[in-house]
Amino acid sequence: MTDELILANARLVLPGETLIGSVKVAEGKIADISGGASVPVGAVDCEGDYVCPGLVELHTDNLERHIQPRPKVDWPHASAIIAHDAELAGTGITTVFDAMRVGSISRRESRYGAYARQLASELLELRAADALKISHFLHLRAEICTDTLVDELKAFGEEDRVGLVSLMDHTPGQRQFRDISKLEQYVKGKHGFDDAAFQAHVAHLMELQETYGAVHEAEAVKAANHFGAVLASHDDTTEAQVAVSAGHGIRLAEFPTTVEAAQACHAHGIKVMMGAPNLIRGGSHSGNVAAHELAEVELLDILSSDYVPAALLMAAVKLGGLWGDMARGLGTVTHAPADAVGLEDRGRMEAGKRADLIRFGIKADTPALRGVWSRGVRVA
Q: Mind giving me the DSSP string for 90-126? A: TTTEEEEEEEEEES-S-SSS-SS---HHHHHHHHHHH
Same domain, 18 and 152: no
* Residues in the chain where the model's pLDDT stays below 50: 1-2
Would you state the pLDDT for residue 135?
98
> Are both 285 and 222 inside the same structural domain?
yes
HSE on the CB side for 3, CA within 13 Å?
8
| 16-49 burial code (b ≥16 CB/10 A, e <16) | eebeebbbbbbebbbbeeeeeeebeeebbbbeeb
CA distance 310 to 308: 6
Q: Are strands 5-14 and 230-234 parallel, antiparallel or unpaired?
A: unpaired
Domain encompassing residue 25:
1-53+348-380
Contacts 24+ apart (CB under 8 A), 290-293: 291/315, 292/322, 293/259
Residue 119 is which amino acid?
Answer: L
* Domain CATH for 6: 2.30.40.10
What DSSP designation does 192 have? -
State the Cα–Cα distance between residues 193 and 154, nearest whole angstrom: 33
- β-pair type (5-14, 377-378): unpaired
Question: How much is the pLDDT for 367?
Answer: 97
Same domain, 67 and 210: yes
User: Is there a single domain that holds both residue 167 and residue 243?
Assistant: yes
Contact 30, 326 (CB under 8 A): no
| 253, 323: one domain | yes
pTM of the predicted structure, to 2 decimals: 0.91
* Distance in angstroms between the alpha carbons of the first and the last residue of the chain: 16
CB 133, CB 140: distance < 8 Å: no
Burial class (CB in 10 A: 0-12, 13-18, 19+), 228: exposed
Statement to judge: residues 185 and 302 lie in one domain: yes
| Chain centroid offset of residue 189 CA | 25
* Co-location of 194 and 272 in the same domain: yes
What is the pLDDT, as a whole number, of residue 194? 76
Residues 294 and 166 reside in one and the same domain:
yes
- Which pLDDT value is given to residue 1? 45
How far apart, in Å, are the Cα atoms of 18 and each of 102, 139, 346? 41, 32, 18
Contact 26, 17 (CB under 8 A): no
Q: Are 44 and 82 in contact (CB under 8 A)?
A: no
Task: List strand residue ranges (DSSP E) for the chain, in order.
Answer: 5-14, 17-26, 29-35, 44-45, 50-53, 55-60, 93-102, 135-143, 162-168, 230-234, 252-254, 271-275, 302-304, 357-363, 366-374, 377-378
Instruction: Clarify whether residues 45 and 78 are in a common domain.
Output: no
- What pLDDT is attached to residue 190? 64
| Residue 144 shares a structural domain with residue 81 | yes
Best CA proximity match to 286, nearest among 234, 322, 251, 323 = 234
Q: What is the pLDDT of residue 195?
A: 75
> Which CATH number is 220's domain given?
3.20.20.140
Residues 291 and 366 in one domain: no
- Confidence at residue 132, expressed as pLDDT on a 0 to 100 scale: 98
Q: Dump pLDDT digits (tens) for 112-142.
A: 678 999 999 999 999 999 999 999 999 999 9
Give how many domains the chain has, as a whole number: 2
Task: Say yes or no: 26 and 105 in one domain.
Answer: no
